[in-house]
Amino acid sequence: MPPPPPHPRPRAFTRNGVDRAHVHVDQDGMTAFGSSTTADYALSWNLDAADGWVTRTIAVAVHGDGWRRSLHLERSPSGEWTSRVETLGDVDLPPPGIAPGTDLRDALDTDLGLCPVTNTMPIRRLDLLARRDPNHDSRSTTLVMAWIEVPSLRVLRSEQLYGAVDAQTVSFRSGDFAAHLTTDAEGFVIDYPALARRLPQR
């Protein structure tokens, strides 16, 4: 895969008419923000993974009928994850923030539920799209994610497997779920089966 451009370039992705993401990429990582609207809630997020494609912070806010909550999740340079939360109103959801007893010490990434943009960090950091040479070791790599459940904003440990299939396809597995993710040349998901498909940009 050719190296990224020396200066950030904006991108705007729309998925299924209800999700939108704006992404800036540079040589070392990316920053992004986006939103999602469903029949039950509206959600917005802001991500900083500008240092080596490793998550530094993600802020997520969600609101529904008579309730709202927010999460600020941060990874320190030493690998410690912390969360700050705010809630207003009653809703039958688990409490937001890092769930008690959750071990995130091995996690470099956050995985925001239902948001394919956050699949980009491991794809780029592992250089999966460059593994088109049949002699290249393309075995799957197991990663630990700080998975943000939506819409509760509860944070859980999630072990996920990423592997290279070909120059445009990444294999993904989490628990019993497995899929082949189709990506563009920069590692952004174009087609996530049963979840999202990127719409043509105007």
Domain boundaries, the chain: 9-197
Take residue 62 and report the two structure tokens written for it: 């969600």
pLDDT above 70 covers a percentage of the chain that reads 85
Question: What percent of the chain is modeled with pLDDT above 90?
Answer: 69
Q: In whole angstroms, what is the distance from residue 170 CA to residue 183 CA?
A: 8
State yes or no: pLDDT of 75 exceeds 80. Answer: yes
> Could you tell me the pTM of the whole model?
0.86
Confidence of residue 16 (pLDDT cuts 50, 70, 90): very low
End-to-end CA, the chain? 25
Q: What is the CA radius of gyration of the chain?
A: 17
Does the pLDDT of residue 59 top 60, yes or no?
yes
Burial of 202 (0-12, 13-18, 19+ CB in 10 A): exposed
- Which residue in 34, 151, 170, 175 sits closest to 94, CA to CA? 151
How far is CA 16 from each of CA 77, 105, 166, 192, rounded to the nearest angstrom? 36, 35, 26, 12
Mean pLDDT, rounded, for 128-154: 82
Q: Answer yes or no: are the C-beta atoms of 198 and 15 closer than 8 Å.
A: yes
